[in-house]
Amino acid sequence: MPSARISDTPAGRQGLGRGTLLLMAVACGLSVAGNYFAQPLLEIIGRDLHMSAGALALVVTVGQVGYALGLILLVPLGDLAERRGLATGLCAATAAFLLVTASAPNAAVLLTGIALTGLTSVAAQVVVPYAATLASPEKRGRTVGTVMTGLLLGILLARTAAGLLSGLGGWRTVYWVNAVLMTVMAVLLYRALPRLRTPVGLSYPRLLGSTFALFAHEPVLRRRALMGGLSFAAFSVLWTAMTFLLSGPSYDWSASAIGLLGLVGAAGSLSASVTGRLADRGLVHRVTGIGSVLLLASWVLLGLGGYGGAWSLAALLAGVIVLDAAVQGVHISNQNLVYALRPEARNRLNSAYMTSYFAGGALGSALTSAVWSAYHWAGVCVLGAALSAALVLVWLTEPRATRHQASRTRTVAQSPAARPKPTVADTAR
């Protein structure tokens, strides 16, 4: 196998072509999708495995807990271990745990499989900073945007795929299919990606400690983590309550029809590449502001979508598209700014940021359940608008120094001091 030095220059990154970038985006989507298959299938799973309502509630919870542990314990390893091996190993492990879930004979095995799948599905959060490191500085925003498009499509389309495949072969089918696809992804990533190690000289315990220490030392990380958490909380408010609305008297949709709504949301995720290009031009702060304001405005359209009928449905669909595009814009701009802080610690920065991001999502889901039971769709829209207004406020109060740093992200990323120093590594084709 030939040997080559992986340098942090545009010439050294010629291996990250369009095909490789697309492969990384697909891998991210397939990795994260496994955490969302169960949501539209809970009733079917419960009947098949004779699970109580309480046990079914744990299906979603254990997956979220597993993913949170993976963000904290596994993602920082990207700054310590060889990245291609880590990414492909996590993909292979995810495939194995999907098989456990697919073949589960009882609730205990099902919950174990889903928890372990959530733990290793953070492969997506290893691949994103990996792609950012391989990308040339002037294309980093576009690269992150493309990979994140794959991840968001995986979240949005997982429910659709689960509904369609369950109709063909039962609830286990989507897990069997995804296990096969993740195995293929592991092989393809191993063949397509270069080996890359960025030594940090830390033991694993010290590595984890340094991840938490980043919050204390990086005010930009703290603020952008808060902004990310608020935006994903608003995202979770919508998608948690959507099933309640569409299955209720206003629309009375079937489960399969509700699952297809993910296709509409996917349209908003396609804005990621545009957001990335704007970030590459030093417009991170402006993109964040536009995304925050659009997120707030989307709740006006979503509020009009709660009445049923053709015009109400049109407003609802438009609101979904605007909200998803806005969340994606805020998220991509956050990542571009956070990744530029310490290139040698990108995986730890990603771990810290994404832990806050998904904590916000969990909070949004929990609040939605309580608000829906008391105030229904109108209350949910007020909750989403309040979270979005808080995001706008955080953006408006961003320190001038941070705004200047955001406008200079491209220049900082190109400076020699900001470049990571990977070791000599093999390329595998």
Rounded CA gap, 181 and 189, in Å?
12
pLDDT at 276: 66
Q: What is this structure's pTM?
A: 0.78
Give 417's DSSP letter. G
170/168 Cα distance (integer angstroms): 6
Structure token pair of residue 66: 């597993």
Contacts of 307 (CB under 8 A, 6+ apart): 250
Plot region of 153 (φ>0 → left; ψ -120 to 50 → alpha; else → beta): alpha
pLDDT tens for 223-232 read 999 999 999 9
Residue type, 199: P
Q: How far is CA 196 from CA 127, 128, 147, 410, in A?
A: 12, 14, 18, 23
What would the pLDDT profile of 292-322 be if each residue is shown by its tens digit?
Answer: 999 999 999 999 999 988 899 999 999 999 9
Specify the long-range contacts of residues 206-213, CB closer than 8 Å, at least 24 apart.
Answer: 207/76, 207/77, 207/79, 207/80, 207/348, 208/72, 208/73, 208/76, 210/345, 210/348, 211/72, 211/76, 211/348, 211/351, 211/352, 212/352
Please classify residue 188 by burial: count the beta carbons closer than 10 Å to its beta carbon, then call 0-12 exposed, 13-18 middle and 19+ buried: middle
Q: Which of 13-27, 29-43, 77-91, 274-288 has the lowest mean pLDDT?
A: 274-288
pLDDT grade, residue 421 (50/70/90)? very low
For the segment 57-85, the average pLDDT, to the nearest whole number, is 87
